[in-house]
Amino acid sequence: MPQGPQVNVRVFGVLREFQRQRDLPCEQSVPLPQGGCSASRLASAMGLPVDRIEGVFCNHTIFGLDHPVRPGDEVAFVPFGTPGPHRYFLGLYKAGHSDR
């Protein structure tokens, strides 16, 4: 992915452990292309296991991985496995099925 403006990214749950195993931070600034990219492309560029991500919080709202991420956004990737009721209250169930 070309170097450009930054976006702040956090990871939760098993994605945190995945980052720790690779000696990478669980919160970091990541460069984006000038016009942004999809959350899926951002996760791939970071080397995250996209198939384990259920949704992405972008500026405090949950979306599917097809959601566009733009410079300056606050992003958090949430893996599958979030406990039952929380998935529905946060909107993860719907977000995780939007790309399918």
Q: Which domain holds residue 40?
A: 7-97
Assess if residue 61 is contained within a domain. yes
Overall number of domains in the chain: 1
CATH number at residue 49: 3.10.20.30
Average pLDDT value for residue range 32-41: 93
For 79-93, what is each residue's pLDDT tens digit?
A: 987 666 555 556 655
pTM of the prediction? 0.80
Domain membership flag for residue 1: no
Q: Give the whole-angstrom CA distance, residue 24 versus residue 47.
A: 11
**Residue 2 counted as domain residue:** no
Q: How far is CA 10 from CA 29, 75, 85, in A?
A: 9, 6, 22
- Residue 30 included in any domain: yes
